[in-house]
Chain A
Amino acid sequence: MLSSIRPKKRVVFFYLLIPVLIYVFSVFVPLATAFYYSFFNWKGGPNKTFNGLENYITLIKDINFWSAFGHNIYLVIACIIGQIGLAFIFVLMINSRYTKLKGIHRTFGFFPSTIAAVSIGFIWSMIYDYKRGLLNWLLDLIGKGDSAKVWLNEPKLVMLLIAIPLIWQFIGYYMVIILSAISSIDQEIFEVSEIDGANAFQRAIYIVLPLIKNTLLVCVTLCIAGNMKAFDHIYVMTSGGPGRSSMVMALYGYKVSFGQQNMGYGSAISIGIFVLSLIVILGSQKLITYFSKDKEVA
């Protein structure tokens, strides 16, 4: 029965060929060429000289790169807590039987993730603007005008301030994923737990969380991958500034490659981003698996 409707192998092959080719050209070829160029002293143009591992030695000693890596890790942690954590809470609230107009909540929650990152950057730049910004206007309105700041020129605050638009943008995205995971849980489990006297908090921690653990793991992986390559809205809002206070790895790689026209070292930075992202993603997965196993045994 199944074999009669299954398409022939060559049809499957042709259908797959196009996305595979696009994937190869847009991911593997650039990665492989970046790896190749990372062994050269190359300032752009046709002339380049092989310099072995020199770019990687520079990369290891480059405090600007490691500071940018630190900022990426900050973003990852802020976004795991902010995006997935808040999304989880919002989903539980939306799923509550007391909530009205669930569809509207879902739609408006998801809406920001459909906006381009550059537009998000502009919108939040306007919110943070010193003279005409919403934030300072609000502070002024509640009589806290003295607390008004040039927000994006505060080196100690700027990472948090650029994390907020990212969190805001993607809460809805994770809400949709978590919502679909929760809706697949058998309703009877909730009903039984309610009869047993479990409150909403206990249901969330002891029933929902363990049952959607794998989905959350996917969310965490997506969140890490997304934030390790953060670029667009930071470029628009601060260009990595003030100074290098909001510099992330991708932006640093871009500035080295095109601002400083140091393509060889820029390629080494790209490979560095790739390797570090893999380590962080795999490391976090191992960590989560380790802790969840531990809990199960206990």
Chain B
Amino acid sequence: MKRKLLSLVLCVTLVASMAVGCGKKNNNSATKDTNSTETATNETKTDDTKETDDTTTDTTTTDTSSSELAYKGTINIMHFSTSEEAQGNGGSDGFRTMNQQWADAHKDIKLEQNVLANDEYKSKIATLAGANDLPDVFLLQGMNTKAWADQGLILDMTDIINTSPYAAQYDLSKFYPFQYDGKTYGLPALCEGSCAIVAYDSELWKAAGFDAFPTTWDEIVSAKAFFDDKKVTEVAFGNRDKWNMNSCFLSTVGDRFTGSDWYHSIIEKTGAKFTDQAFVDSLKFTQEIFQAGVFNKDFNAITNEDAREYYIDGSAAAVIGGNWDISYIGATLKESDPELYARTKFAVIPQPAGASGSTNTHNTGMGYAVAINAKVADDPDKLAACIDLAYKLTGSDFSTYVAENYALSALTKVDSVDMSKFDQFTTDFYNFYQNPGCEIYDSFLTGAVWDVLNTDLQTMVNGEIDPETVAANAQKAYEENY
């Protein structure tokens, strides 16, 4: 009898726990009350008075968030600054440090962090958005702004930004990818990054006859014989994951052909088309140069992580990647190969022949912003805490930390950075940002356009599809989805 009773109890417990698990998800999916935003904003405004300027190293202490918040529950935050990512990466390190400082200053609030690698983060956050189950605070990618704002998933942060204690110091141009219909939906996070940086071995290129990295692709092609003799790849690139060719190559090369007005017109839907001749020319150039043999043969089969390893192990004379790749290369070479570390210099992508839209540009910006789930507005106290956290993650503490430790800039401007304490690698990287910027294509529009274009690009550089068809498919996806 006892055994029967026990098995019955176990069965009921198991079934009950399943039912609870399944029903747990939407405990606060009630109505959205966006009016409560304002009230909460006023509450948080009082937090700014104790700002301190003596934030110098990673032991930075902060007062920004030390004031009492009424909320005493849990805040979920999801981001991609993993501990591995933070190695040498100022933005990630700063983000993690600010999170920790905020959690330490608010012991009575439980800050639950869900940290994933970037690729997994993008998949998971899209899944959660689809299920209307976003975390309280998360990183919003520019291209999702319009769709998620239309769905009412993300909080309109316009007033929160205007009344921020750091409002006067914000670099307003950074908000562009996160603005839609006159409203702003996020505080640009992490650091200003470039997606198209050439890191090269200056000695090797000097031996090839170039005192600095070539400024035209024709020169790169002419140097091919030299590097072939040395059995060294001229330029390493990885496009297995398909987004790389768009983010780290075409965004810049496209700008060189079309100029920045063309892409602004695409974003604002004022007449430009992917089928415009200048953009098609940039695709033609992309196809030609990737078939010219100056890149590693396996560029379509390896990731950007593999490509940067080719540079690190000396089998490539240069690599094209984003600032995240440069951070990794710097951190690794500093330990493993200080000589190559010292020889490494930076350049913008060379100018394609026939491109007259712009010169020396590199696609740069802040691709992610700290955003708040619209549902949080139902609880003004919780919203106040989330806003406080968002200020902390993007405010002057963060900017000072990354400026002083990594010579990087972020949303909140820092008066001046003492460059004397940094080595040549970091100084050169800092100076690279003096080159003119252009937009990062996939910080805008929608994933539906980029998924089509990125897939076609991979096929195109294999010569299986022509640039005109790629442009037509992108235009079709653009018209249907944006």
Contact = CB atoms under 8 A, between A and B. Distances in A.
Interface residues of A, number: 37
B462 A242 contact: yes
A261 B150 CA distance: 13
Interface stretch (A40-48, A75-83, A224-232): A40-48
B239 to A, nearest CB: 9
Summarize B's interface: helix, strand, loop or mixed.
helix
Interface string B135-168: 0000000001001101111000000000000000
Interface in B207-250: 240-242
A258 B301 contact: no
Interface in A1-41: 11, 14, 17-18, 21-22, 25
A261 B451 CA distance: 10
A276 B345 CA distance: 55
A263 interface: yes
A52 to B, nearest CB: 18
Contacts of A18: 11, 14-15
The listed residue with most A CB atoms (<10 A of its CB), out of B153, B455, B459, is B455
Given A25-B18, A243-B459, A260-B448, A45 B298 contact: no
Of the candidates A43, A128, A240, the one having the most CB atoms from chain B within 10 angstroms of its own CB is: A43
A241 B303 CA distance: 13
B240 A239 contact: yes
B235 to A, nearest CB: 15
A102 interface: no
B448 A262 contact: yes
Q: Which of A129, A155, A262 has the most CB of B within 10 A?
A: A262
B377 to A, nearest CB: 15
A129 B18 CA distance: 44
A255 interface: yes
B17 to A, nearest CB: 11
B177 to A, nearest CB: 17
B462 A155 contact: yes
B344 to A, nearest CB: 21
Nearest to A46: B132
B127 interface: yes
Contacts of B4: 11
Main secondary structure of the interface of A (DSSP, over half): loop
B126 A261 contact: yes
Interface string A216-257: 000000000000000000000011111111000000000101
A144 B7 CA distance: 66
Interface string B294-312: 0001101110000000100
A166 B240 CA distance: 21
A2 B315 CA distance: 74
Given A14-B11, A45-B130, A243-B456, A255 B451 contact: yes
B173 interface: no
A155 B455 CA distance: 13
Contact of B15 (A21, A242, A244, A245): A21
A262 B150 CA distance: 14
Contacts of B20: none
B172 interface: no
Contact of B242 (A14, A22, A241, A262): A241
B132 A45 contact: yes
Contacts of B18: 21-22, 25
A153 B144 CA distance: 30
B35 interface: no
Contacts of B459: 155, 242-245
Contacts of B292: none
B300 A261 contact: no
Contacts of A151: 301
A127 to B, nearest CB: 13
Contacts of A245: 459
B8, B301, B459: residue with the most chain A Cβ atoms closer than 10 Å:
B301
Contacts of A257: 130
A152 interface: yes
A257 B124 CA distance: 12
Contacts of A260: 446-448, 451-452, 481
Contact of B300 (A43, A47, A241): A241
Interface of A: 11, 14, 17-18, 21-22, 25, 43-47, 128-131, 150-153, 155, 238-245, 255, 257-263
Interface of B: 4, 7-8, 11, 14-15, 18, 22, 123, 126-127, 129-132, 144, 147-148, 150-153, 240-242, 297-298, 300-302, 310, 315, 446-448, 451-452, 455-456, 458-459, 462, 464-465, 481
Given A11-B4, A45-B147, A259-B447, 9 more contacts: A43-B151, A46-B152, A129-B301, A150-B298, A238-B301, A241-B242, A241-B300, A260-B451, A261-B448
